Amino acid sequence: MKIVVLDGSIENPGDLSWEGLAQYGELTVYDRTTDDPEEIIRRIADAEVVFTNKCPIDRAVIDACPGVKYISVLATGYNVVDVAYAAGRGIPVSNVPAYGTAAVAQFAIALLLEICHHVAHHSEAVHAGRWQNSPDWCFWDYPLIELHDKTMGIIGFGRIGQATGRIAAAMGMRILACSPHESEEGRRIATYVDLDTLLANSDVIALHCPLFPETKGIINKDTIAKMKDGVILLNNSRGQLMVEQDLADALNTGKVAAAGLDVVSSEPIRGDNPLLGAKNCFITPHISWAARESRQRIMDMSEENLRAYAAGKPIRVVNGI
């Protein structure tokens, strides 16, 4: 069995092993493959199994590579594969769901705590000699925020939203949740409310909803106007949930006190993204998922996917094959 990994460097920059996949056949791992269909087709060649993270596999690629019998995505989202067309060609497509719940929730809280305490800034100030030259025994350059007794509103209350809510509740925060699906587990963590109620009553708003047509641009000038003055916004879900110019404007006026973002609408970020020049906007390069433990989970689940396919019983199939 010939197995190709099209873009393996982000999943495994060298601290993990591909041996779990290699035991099932002849494995070729490419660190990066461009979006050029000709390069993708050339690299897949006559492979039976293809693993991809962000490298697109559309109908043209599928038609040009008739040897492909199985596709597995090294992520939860599988929009990079034309799953419907693959189904029509009898090709099962699998993914790796829920591998990063703990890491993504932890990162959301890390963004929040950085906004509240500016840890990196104050550490840099100390290393620059400002503390040793200070006339006082301490100093701070930004208002420091205590989260106890404040309210976090979480838009999207699935696994990651609930994990974030548990951490925030452990810090003494009240949790509101807006979700199309309510559960008993969710009710043990949060009070379910409608979106307008959440917007009006939250000191911190965290986005943990998937990107659907109804959630695209859910953070915009109209919803921001319904928020408390000085609200903090967190988004390590999907960048397209925000109208970025509207958020930048709100940051610059102070309506939104600060934003902690791990995602933007176009990645890598473009130099003309308005959030780059906005006040109090903390942006990280889409790394919430990337803890070694999470990436090892991706590797383990991908091996499980391949093992099941090799046994004739594919698992975690997202296109009904």
Beta bridge partners of 153: 176, 205
Q: What is the pLDDT of residues 206-238, one digit of tens each?
A: 999 999 999 999 999 999 999 999 999 999 999
Q: Which helix (H) or strand (E) holds 112?
A: helix 101-117
Tell me, yes or no, if the pTM score tops 0.85.
yes
Active site residue 267: yes
Averaged confidence pLDDT in the chain: 98
Structure tokens at 196: 């307008």
Q: Is 286 a catalytic residue?
A: yes
* Dist CA 2 CA 70 (whole Å): 11
Q: What percentage of residues in the chain have a pLDDT greater than 90? A: 100
The pLDDT tens digits for 35-78 are 999 999 999 999 999 999 999 999 999 999 999 999 999 999 99
Over residues 262-274, the mean pLDDT reads: 97
* Average pLDDT estimate for 161-174: 98
Q: Which member of 117, 166, 286, 307 is catalytic?
A: 286
Can you tell me which residue has the tokens 């998922």?
A: 289
> What structural domains does the chain harbor?
2-99+292-310 (3.40.50.720), 101-283 (3.40.50.720)
**Which is catalytic among the residues 118, 238, 297, 316?**
238
With H, G, I as helix, E, B as strand and everything else as coil, classify residue 64: helix
Radius of gyration of the chain (CA): 22
**Known catalytic residue: 38?**
no
State the pLDDT at residue 321. 85
Catalytic residue among 19, 146, 267, 293: 267
As a whole number of angstroms, the distance between CA 289 and CA 292 comes to 9
